[in-house]
Structures are given as structure tokens and as C-alpha cells.
Amino acid sequence: MRMSTEELTSRARLLDSEIRQLAKEKAPAIIFIDELDAIGTKRFNSEKAGDREVQRTMLELLNQLDGFQPNHDIKVIAATNRVDILDPALLRSGRVDRKIEFPAPNEEARARIMQIHSRKMNVQKDVNFEELARCTDDFNGAQCKAVCVEAGMIALRRSASEVTHEDYMDAILEVQAKKRTNLNYYA
């Protein structure tokens, strides 16, 4: 079963009834919560209705996590890019027992990611993915993919039949500029 963070927030009461019941009926089951940071942020006093709703959702999630027994065939997996802003109550033993970190890709991995996302494109033979990887030191996998998409778009705009090394370099500058404006480009 899949549910977006928006659905989870707007339908918080489902946690107690439908999701838990469905998971029990379908056991063994996995409940996957993507972007946990959207509902699991550290609690604070707020007068905004949206903030209060997110906090109510998080409290409901805490209650539900407490309700799953370790011997049940139901596992809860959550993903976040912002573990630093999660409420400590979520991370205590019995709720989120294991943390598996996927660090940012190293230079070799970034080169490989860009090669993979370029494989269906007509790329000039002299494109040096190792050099491109060196120019993307602080990029995550999604941003490396964004470089490839942008390089392809640059080539299309100039009606080229092949993507050049220069297209990739221009694309890196584009993605870096969007990162600086804090738009979470393709992240």
C-alpha cells in the first residue's frame, strides 16, 4: 500500500483504523512512509492550523508505532532526507529501531549515475563522465540525473543530434544555480 505524505496528513485518522487493519489482513505486510520529515518534525508551539494538524498526525503515528508488536508480520519502513529535524520520540527504541544511511554518492558513483541516465541519449564519445563527476562534488543522485536531463534539453534547444561534454558542463551550472536558490531541484 502506498500513501503520500499529503494523503497521510489529511487523512491522519486512517492510521488508527484502515491502514493498520489492512496491514493485519494482508500480513505479512510492509507499511512504507516516504518523506517522514513532513509529518515527523520536532514538536513546537504553533498557532497555525496546518502545524497543529501535522503535529496531531505525528502523535497519531507515534501511537500506531507503539501498537505494532515486534513479533507481528507487519514492518514499518520510513524514509527521510532530513533525519536532523525528526522528533526524537520517533527515533526511540521500539519505534524506529534501525537507521540505514545512504550517503551521498562518491565521485565514482556520480560518474556511474550520469552514465546510467545518459545511456538512452546520443552522447558524443568524448564526454568525460569522470570529469563531470569531479564537478558535481556535492550532488546527490537525483541532482546527477537532473544534470543529464538538463544536458539533453540543452542539446535539443540547439537542435543537436548529440549531447556534448559542453552541454553537460552547462547543465551542471544550471543545476548548481537552482541548488543555490534553494528550490530542491529534482530532489
Q: Give the CATH number of the domain where residue 148 resides.
A: 1.10.8.60
**Considering its fold, how many domains does the chain have in total?**
2
For position 78, which CATH number holds?
A: 3.40.50.300
Is 101 among the domain residues?
Answer: no
- In this predicted structure, what is the pLDDT of residue 49? 46
Do 81 and 128 share a domain, yes or no?
no
Give the closest residue to 115 by CA, choosing from 130, 137, 103: 130
- In this predicted structure, what is the pLDDT of residue 185? 47
Do 73 and 111 share a domain, yes or no?
no
For residue 76, the tally of other CB atoms under 10 A from its CB is: 17
- In this predicted structure, what is the pLDDT of residue 134? 98
Distance CA 165, CA 172 (A): 11
Do 16 and 65 share a domain, yes or no?
yes
Residues 6+ apart with CB under 8 A from 176: none
Do 116 and 61 share a domain, yes or no?
no
**pLDDT profile of the chain (187 residues), mean per 10:** 59 62 86 80 56 65 67 81 83 80 94 98 98 96 97 98 98 92 55
Is 156 among the domain residues?
Answer: yes
Q: Give me the domain span that covers residue 39.
A: 5-85
Do 169 and 115 share a domain, yes or no?
yes
Do 65 and 130 share a domain, yes or no?
no
Is 186 among the domain residues?
Answer: no
Backbone angles phi, psi at 78, to 5 degrees: -130, 150
* The residue to which cell 508480520 is assigned: 73
- In this predicted structure, what is the pLDDT of residue 92? 81
Q: Angle CA(30)–CA(35)–CA(36) in degrees, nearest 5?
A: 75
Is 137 among the domain residues?
Answer: yes
- In this predicted structure, what is the pLDDT of residue 186? 46
Do 113 and 150 share a domain, yes or no?
yes
- In this predicted structure, what is the pLDDT of residue 68? 63
